[in-house]
Structure formats: C-alpha cells, structure tokens
Structure 1
Amino acid sequence: MNKEFTVEDRLKERIKELSCLYSISRVLRKHQDDVEATLKEICEITKNAWRHPEAAIVQLKYTNFDIKTGAIPSKYIFQESRLSDHQENLGYIRVYYDSAYFDNTEFLEEEQQLLDQISIEISDFFERERIKEREELLRRKAEHNDRLAILGEITAGIAHELNTPLGNILGFAELIQANNKDDQTKNDLDKIIKASIYSREIVKKLMFFACEMPHQKQAQQIKPIIEQALSLLGPNLKKAGISCQFKIDEENLIIPIDIVQFTQIIFNLVINAIYVSTPQSYIEILVSHTKDTMLMEVKDQGPGIAKTFRKKVFHPFYSTKPLGEGSGLGLSVVHGIVKAHQGEIKIVDNIPNGSNFKISLPLHP
C-alpha cells in the first residue's frame, strides 16, 4: 500500500501533527474527573493524526487503564512510545496497522516523534493527577486533624465538667449505702455506684484521649512491667476462665517508654482480648526484638476483626460492644500512645482464629 510521499503530503501530515498536539493539549486542559474518558479522547485524536487513520488502531496501556480505539489485528506492525513517571516505565501508547496490508515503511519518522511527544503529554498528565491526589489527601488529613483538635478541646471541657458531679454522686451514694438497711434501696444504690464508676472511667479515658499525652520516657526493663500488668489483670482472667501466656525472647530487654502509658496499652489490649475470648481459651503476649525495634503481639482466640473494620477500631468512640459495655476510646488511646512513642500498631489475623494486635516500638528513638 506504500506510495510515494511528496512534499505536499509531508506538509499535510505536519499540519495534522500540530493539530493533534493542540487538540490533546486542549483536552488535558479541560479535563475534570473522568480520566478514562479523557484518555479515550486522546486516543481518537492520535488515531486521526496518522497517515492512514481509517486503518490505524491506537492502544494506550497504563497501570489499570487499557484503552483501544478498535480491535488489534492478529498480525500487525506498530509504532510505540513508553509512558513513564520519570522513574520507571509504567505503560505505552501504540499505533497499529494490519501487517497484511501495511509494512513498516508506512510509518513516518515524524509520526514517531509525534508519538513520543504525546507520551510526554500523557505522562505529565498522570503526574499532575498524582500530585492532585496527594494534595487532596493532605487536605483531608489537615481537616481531620483540625476536627480532632476541636474534638479534643470540647472533650476535655466536657470531661472536666462531668468529673466533679460524678464524684459527688458516687460519694453521696456510698455514704447513703453505709447507713442503709433496706434491701431494695441497697440494690438501687449498687446500680448508682456501678454506673458512676463506669461513667468516671469513661471520663478518665476522655481526658486521656483529649490531652496531648505528655510522657516521661525512660529506659525500662520491659518484662517486669508486663508481668506486673498481668498480675493486676489476674482476677479478670480468672473470672473469665481464660489463661494468659507471656513469652519474651530477651529477659533483660530494655526500651525507652513511659511506664504508665505502656501499662495502659497492656490493660486495654488484654481487657479487649478477655471480652472476645471464650472460657478455657488463652491469650498470648509475645515480645521479640531486632537491632532497632521491639515487637509486641497480643493474640486472642476470639471471632477476629473483619478487615473492613480494622482501621475503624482505632477511631475515637467507635465500638463493636453493646451500648453500655464499651466507651469506644480504649483502642484510640492505645493508638495515640503508640504514635506518641514513635511506633506503629496494626491488626492481623491470629492463626487459626482470633486477632493479633502487633505493636512495634523503636529501641533507639
């Protein structure tokens, strides 16, 4: 199908190329949200810029996009230009002809140069889209942090205002209880005292969550701290009929932590594990370390946590427990303490069943 290519033909092709680049630039400038529609339009513009547009098939392949202007022939020739994010090749744009009717002489050098320029435009477009996504993510994070800061201020104020009346309710209820002889009144007072204690615990967690959590980190031997916390939790474990196994790979492992806050981590994670565990099951606490990091795992044999909920459980006031049985602050407090210690916490499946809370803390922050 090859024919002699005159100067006039080359001039026409040059005009098509310039029109192509202008049209692609215009499409990219007016782009809103539909990336796929934008890329399809670019492919159609590219197709019409080639020497034989009625026979050309354009394919644009990039990450999860694979756009074609038609069916690619079983036997073909093609021109190609790679798409790049300036670090690695992530795709390509190609123009195909059916090799039964065309040979490589049908492709012009100018067309290859045009295709290279189009690939630069598309690569730059994807880079701008990534920058927009990062900016949007940063904006959402900033808004989220602002909301949390406002929530913290409101929460601290509410907690402070509630603390005094709750203390009065509890004190007067205990005073009446001490002088009471009536069984029905005693039962009612027991309920008031339990509700007041429960409410005061929520207030304590609210204040802990709302504050900046100042910590006094000192190099501490980790094993005695965990053993002390488990000793205090002994009655809870016994009442639930659950055992706890603690293993550490280095008896004298030392790590810079705030003892009170680290104990709070143990308390919250073990109490949660007790809540989801069945009688006669067991909880594991495993501590290991590398040169720079301590890893602590708290494993239970409960029903586990679905992957869709694993991030939500660290949000303040999110709870899977029935109303009145959980404040939704325990794990958010744990998350805050871990972050304050420059560490990370995540949830993975425990094998064969249950959840595994994995906490990593730096040995040398």
Structure 2
Amino acid sequence: EAEGKPRFLWDVELGVCPGEQLIRQIVDVLPDLVGKLRDLSELEARFTEKLERAALDALAEFSAGAAHELNNPLAIISGRAQLLLRSETSPDRRMALATIIAQARRAHEMLADLRLFARPPCPEPRIIDLAELVKNIGHEFRKETEGTGISLQSKVPETPVFCEVDPVQIRVALEAICRNAVEALGESGQIHIELACEQNEVVIRVQDNGPGISSEYQPLVFHPFFSGRSAGRGLGFGLSKAWRIVQIHGGRLELHSVPGSGTLVVVRLPCSGISRPLQETSPN
C-alpha cells in the first residue's frame, strides 16, 4: 500500500507486471488493426472512384440528349442565316449575318465535343508505336509554342513501345491534355512529357509548372460543363474528352495538382499489345 491505497507491483502468477501485459496485447493486435485501416482506406478510395465514374456516366447520358436537342435548332439558325447572306447587300447586315453563322459554327463544335464525351465512337484498335506518337505530338507543340516563353521537353524510350489502341482517339486525348497545359501556362513556363512502361501499364505523364488547380476544383476537372478559368485554368471540354477516351480504352486518367506548383496529368493504359513482334504491324 502507498498512502493508504493498494498498488500492484508484480503479478506473480503471470510473471509480468500488468502494464507490460497490456503493452504486449496492444503490440499483438496492432498489425491486424493497421491492416484493417489500410483495407478501409483502399475501400473508400475505390468507392469514391466508382461514385465519380457513375456521376460522369449519368452526366454523359444527359449530355447526349442535350447535344441532340440543341443541334437541330442550331442547324436551322445557321442555314437560314446563310440563305439571307446570299441576297443581302447591306454591309452592316452582311457582317451581322456572318457573325451569326460564325457563332453557330462555334456552338456546333462545342456540341460535337459534348457528343464525343457522351457517346464516343467505338475504338478501332490496332498495334501502334506509342513512342513515335508521343514524339510527334511533342514536336507539333514545340513548333506551336516556338517564339513564346513556353519550353516543352519529352522523355521517350528509344525502343518502340507497342500498344493496341485507336491511334486517332489516343492522339485526340493526348493533344487535349497538352493543349490544357499550354493554356494553363499562358505566356511562359515548362511542359514535360514522359512515356514509360510500368508493370502491366503504359504510363504517359504530362506535367507543367503553371498555377495549378485548387483542391476544391480538382474533383470537377473531368466534367464537361466545368470551366476552370475562374480557377486560373481553361479546361473546357479538353480533359473531359481525354478522360472519356482513356476510359473506353480500359485505362485511367489521373490528375495531381498543387496550387502554385503546377499540374501533373497521368494517362495509364493497359499493356495489351505491348512488346508484340514488329512483323504483326506490317505485312513485311
């Protein structure tokens, strides 16, 4: 007893003090607890991903119907304006009609992008060299940004990286991602494109050192109706098209961004078709 209160110094039967026994029990269950917490975290991440995909799929169905309904009256407006333009002699009215036609065409292009997001055409896959495709896209954007303060660097394997994809659709997706990076930089900055093979995937990374995207806007960047210009970045339909194309190829599109430190967009495509013999791509 100490100060009139009982105090156990040693448990003779167990051979250990009660505090040490409790610590041993905690140590025994700790690995199992950590494993369960890790599983719970992974389950939450998968649930969030599936929920986001379901929301985008529902949005795609709405977009398909909206694009169809808007396209018909838009075609009538454009057609009537062109007919009036043929017989109009007043310079001011001709200019007004030309503006109507130009804006109608712009709206039609936006609806075409919306239809591509909503119901993209079925891919026509064939075995291509993704390394060559990434090199060509990098070369095109280097020429486009020549004379500006934007520099573009690419890191591509010297050996071919064969993958079975629709070359037109994948080009559209990669160009949209690169275009998004160029618009984010404005007048100056750096863009880095990298192609690599990792485990069972082909990974394409496009990174810029622009203003980045705040965390509140990041969950919305793949939505076709979201405009990131208020967040300092013009997203438009570019990333939504890219997300849809990558999805129908069985891949994933990821975005990582820290405000003030730039943005990284990662395309992950399955390795089906990679490392097949070269003769499969040519009759010779």
Band the TM-score falls in, shorter-chain normalisation: 0.5 to 0.7
Structure 1: which amino acid aligns with 2:185? S
Q: 1:290 to 1:155 in 2, by over 3 A?
A: closer
| Structure 1 position 293 matched with structure 2 position 236 | no
Sequence identity percentage: 26
Given the alignment, which residue of 158, 163, 188 partners 1:250?
158
The equivalent residue for 2:11 is: none
Does the aligned pair in 2 maintain the 1:83–1:90 contact within 8 Å?
no
Shift of 1:248: 1.6
The equivalent residue for 1:112 is: none
The equivalent residue for 2:178 is: 270
Shift of 1:298: 1.7
Q: 1:238 to 1:171 in 2, by over 3 A?
A: farther
| Structure 1 position 88 matched with structure 2 position 31 | yes
| Structure 1 position 168 matched with structure 2 position 111 | no
- 1:193-342 correspondence to structure 2 within 5 Å: 193-211=101-119, 214-226=122-134, 229=137, 237=145, 242=150, 244-290=152-198, 292-321=200-229, 328-342=236-250
Distance 2:104 2:30 in 1: 60
The equivalent residue for 1:155 is: 63
Does the aligned pair in 2 maintain the 1:240–1:274 contact within 8 Å?
no
The 3-state SS of whatever aligns with 2:268 is: strand
Ranges in structure 1 where 5+ consecutive residues have no aligned partner: 3-51, 57-75, 92-125
Does the aligned pair in 2 maintain the 1:163–1:203 contact within 8 Å?
yes
Given the two structures, how large is their TM-score scaled by the length of structure 2?
0.68
Does the aligned pair in 2 maintain the 1:249–1:289 contact within 8 Å?
no
Shift of 1:203: 1.2
Deviations 1:281-332 (A, max 9, x none): 443322233464322122333212234433331234222125xx96843322
Given the two structures, how large is their TM-score scaled by the length of structure 1?
0.55
Shift of 1:232: 6.8
Distance 2:117 2:252 in 1: 17
Q: Which has the larger radius of gyration?
A: 1
Distance 2:28 2:227 in 1: 42
Count residues in correspondence.
258
Does the aligned pair in 1 maintain the 2:176–2:242 contact within 8 Å?
yes
Distance 2:141 2:101 in 1: 22
Deviations 1:125-152 (A, max 9, x none): x99xx69x959x85x7777666544433
Deviations 1:48-96 (A, max 9, x none): xxxx9x989xxxxxxxxxxxxxxxxxxx9524163599792448xxxxx
Deviations 1:25-56 (A, max 9, x none): xxxxxxxxxxxxxxxxxxxxxxxxxxx9x989
Q: 1:202 to 1:333 in 2, by over 3 A?
A: same
Deviates more, 1:335-344 or 1:178-187: 178-187
Does the aligned pair in 2 maintain the 1:243–1:281 contact within 8 Å?
yes
Shift of 1:158: 1.7
The 3-state SS of whatever aligns with 1:159 is: helix
Structure 1: which amino acid aligns with 2:248? A
The 3-state SS of whatever aligns with 1:88 is: helix
- 1:104-183 correspondence to structure 2 within 5 Å: 138=47, 147-177=55-85, 180-183=88-91
Query: Greater RCO between the two (CA within 8 Å, min separation 6)?
Result: 2
Shift of 1:348: 3.5
- 1:19-58 correspondence to structure 2 within 5 Å: none
Structure 1: which amino acid aligns with 2:271? L
Distance 2:135 2:120 in 1: 28
Shift of 1:265: 0.9
Distance 1:155 1:260 in 2: 22
The equivalent residue for 2:12 is: none
Ranges in structure 2 where 5+ consecutive residues have no aligned partner: 9-16, 274-284
Distance 1:215 1:84 in 2: 53
Distance 1:202 1:134 in 2: 37
Structure 2: which amino acid aligns with 1:196? A
Structure 1: which amino acid aligns with 2:119? C
The equivalent residue for 2:14 is: none
Structure 1: which amino acid aligns with 2:226? Y
Does the aligned pair in 2 maintain the 1:244–1:283 contact within 8 Å?
yes
Structure 2: which amino acid aligns with 1:88? P
